[in-house]
Structure 1
Amino acid sequence: MMSPLLKGIKSLYPDTKLTVVGEENAKQLMEAYPFVDEYLTFDKTKKSSWHLIKKLWRSDIVYLMDTLYHISIIYGLACIKKRVGLPHKRKFWLTDCLKIEPWMNHAFEPVVYAHFLKEATGIDVTTLPNWDTFVYPDARDVDKQHVKELLEPLQGKDYIVSSLETGGYAKNWPKEHWITLFNELKKIGKSVVLIGAESQNYTNLDLPDNVVNLIGKTNLLEVGEIIKNAELVINGCSFPVHVANAFNTPVIGLYGSEPSWRCAPQRIYKDVISPVDCKGCDVLYNSPGWCEKPFCMDRLLPSTVMEYVKKFYSEGKPLGPYKLVTGKS
């Protein structure tokens, strides 16, 4: 979701050195982006902290896209001239504070990030044509060869991609629903490729033989290659949905606690939404938060998803109409 902003900054100001700070698990992805000059990882250790201070010493500006406290201290100690972000509890370490506005809970996240970027730096990426197009780096030849080997069991057949787990337990579809869906897909002759990191929550799965299980077997660039060449992604609100958006791979997204208007990609074949009344509780700001025992994803049935799968194929596998939700209409 941050890729349109990074590309936009570099397009408007090509001579600017653009450094991104984040976690180790995004390193391969960020280093593959041609518009990112440097990617620095941070893990809260003293060694990591001093490394960042030296690397970022007296930089011109930092736009803090998160609300983390510790990293904002690092930027202050690095004497970065302008430090802009949401105040949260770290206001002391910022030179300029951003302000949450009511429309932001009803907008696609990159729209909010672009607004904050303009407020923080004066850089307006929305002036660029197709500014919101997601970017995902192409796989290297070695990654493509590995993917080819991993997908050999499919013997060249088309496939659907899914990842069982998302970044939050309230967004996860129950594993019994996944198994039911895979068996229904088998009945109509469809193969499935599972991607994602290894998980303690989704183990000992009784997968049907139309499923190729690549969980824990791919890197980020290989994941992109797999999604790029898929005919459909069926997934909860998570990383694969947005990778699919970057490659124009059609998506059937599953939404419960996460509101589809904020998180669904600009092009989506179908956002299948839980029928519970309290759905969409996890808004971007001032969220009531997930309930103690979320049930919204459990109420989203495999039979409902299969209705849209069959419709997708009967309609000729369309990508879906373009719609950018700005929250300001």
Structure 2
Amino acid sequence: MSKNSSANSLKRFLLIRTDRIGDTILTLPAVTALRSQYQDAFIAFLAQPYTVPLIEQYVGIDISLSYEPHGRHKGWQGLSKLSHELQELNFDAALLFYPRVKLAFAIAKAGIPVRIGTGYRWYSFLLTERIFEHRKDCQKHEAEYNFSLLESLLPDKNPQPQYKFKQWLPEPWWEDFRTVLNSKDYVIVHPGYGASAPNLNNEQYRLIIRLLLEKTDWTVLLTGIAGEENLVHEIAADFPEERVKRVVGRFSLAEFFSVVRNASLLISSSTGPLHMANAADTPLLGFFCPAKPHTPDRWGPYDQQQWVVTPDLDWPEICELKNCPHGGCLHHLSDVEITEALCTQRLNNL
């Protein structure tokens, strides 16, 4: 943005993040920071349709928009439709947190005056303000990389990422859920991961469940998304059904977030539910690969980094997920290390 331009003259903002749940959650603090500076502004958030129900629970967003690249926004005709939709909303500024050529083209074609995003793409000429940071270097957290796009909009400010969700209120389904739980407290164990980062193996998750059953009187919710039924059933095998509940594809995203918000603890690897827990201030325990690009330095739970467990491996510097020289780095965490992290440290600090 030109120094001669007045940031305070901007009234209508579009924030764009169209990838996964965890990535989207790590972008939401940008809404809080913008809203603090532009209290009367109109703020819209463009996201994947399946993340919209979560975005709608966030404070400070006036309208949630769906990007449907395989539906009504498919192809160049669909992209033209998206551009027209954005043009009708008369935005003053667009922030492209997840760089994609079609989205950069759409906001340029929509005539949005201020267009902010990375400077390291061949199509960055479509933006009016370019940020020259290589996120793959993992020099800071993803939430902080997102805040880099706000710098010209928040002159002389240095905000820290903060979450602000709407107040939770129980819906009719909640009482039925509590009845099924048959317990006041519950812990979520989420073994799915979408193949996007290293994960614990089934036996390590079974160890975690055994320890939870021994050390607490909580119900264990073993969760997964549609398509992870076999994984959840394999891990849950032989555990008492009254204590270990298999929950696969049962909840909508909005409902699952309610479950996360009210949990006593959530345990997972680098997943969307882990970031949901951090955003909701739910205690967590996360397991991460120490290497780039999966390092918790960039992708860990922003406010609960002290509850991240990584194997003690100093190579390779760059994770080779599909050809890991360690055969899966998290598999090197011993039973003793997992027990120490969960029982001695995490459970004793709740």
Q: Same fold (TM over 0.5)?
A: yes
1:80 is matched with which residue? Answer: 112
TM-score, normalization: structure 2? 0.77
Q: Which residue of 1 aligns with 2:191?
A: 164
TM-score by length of 1: 0.81
Assess if the C-alpha contact under 8 Å between 1:19 and 1:39 holds in 2: yes
After superposition, the Cα gap between the structure-2 partners of 1:159 and 1:101, relative to the gap in structure 1 and judged at 3 Å, is same
Instruction: Find 1:277's aligned residue among 287, 311, 314.
Output: 314
Q: Deviations over 1:285-319 (max 9, x none)?
A: xxxx63434611222244422222211466341xx
Q: Give the structure 1 partner of residue 170 of structure 2.
A: 141
Deviation at residue 165 of structure 1 after TM alignment: 1.4
Residue in structure 2 matching 1:33, options 54, 58, 77: 58
For structure 1, the residue ranges without an aligned partner over 5 or more in a row are 283-288, 318-329
Among 187, 205, 211, the residue aligned to 2:234: 205
Give the one of 42, 52, 62 matched to 2:82. Answer: 52
| CA distance in structure 1 between the aligned counterparts of 2:45 and 2:262, rounded to whole angstroms | 29
Confirm or deny: 8 A CA contact 2:232 2:248 kept in the other structure.
no
Question: RMSD value over aligned CA atoms?
Answer: 2.8
- Counterpart mapping for 1:4-153 below 5 A: 4-44=29-69, 45=74, 48-57=78-87, 59-86=91-118, 87-100=120-133, 105-118=138-151, 121-123=152-154, 127-128=158-159, 131-142=160-171, 145-153=172-180
In 2, distance between residues paired with 1:195 and 1:280?
Answer: 32
How far 1:203 moved relative to its partner? 5.3
2:306, 2:124 → 1: CA distance? 42
- What are the Cα deviations for residues 60-104 of structure 1, in whole angstroms up to 9, with x where unaligned? 221110121221111122122222211313223222321016996
Distance of aligned partners of 1:169 and 1:64 in 2 relative to their CA distance in 1, 3 Å threshold? closer
Alignment partner of 2:299 out of 263, 270, 279:
263
Q: What residue number does 1:194 align with?
A: 222
CA gap 1:133/1:279 in 2 versus in 1, 3 angstroms: farther
Aligned residue-pair number: 305
Amino acid at match of 2:303: Q
Shift of residue 217, structure 1, vs aligned partner? 1.0
Are residues 1:310 and 2:335 paired?
A: no
| AA partner of residue 260 (structure 1) | P
Q: Aligned in 2, Cα 1:169/1:122: closer, same or farther, shift over 3 Å?
A: closer
Letter in 2 for 1:160: V
Partner of 1:320: none
Where does structure 2 lack aligned partners over 5 or more consecutive residues? 1-25
- AA matched with 2:97: M
Distance 1:70 1:170 in 2: 26
Give, in whole Å, the separation in 2 of the partners of 1:175 and 1:68.
36
CA distance in 2, matches of 1:154, 1:78: 50
2:285 corresponds to: 252
AA aligned opposite 1:292: N
Q: Which moved more, 1:90-99 or 1:2-11?
A: 90-99
Shift of 1:112: 1.7
Deviates more, 1:247-256 or 1:302-311: 302-311
Residue 261 of structure 1 aligns with an amino acid whose one-letter code is: D
CA distance in 1, matches of 2:35, 2:146: 16
* Residues 131-140 or 32-41, more deviating: 131-140
Structure 2 counterpart SS, 1:56 = helix
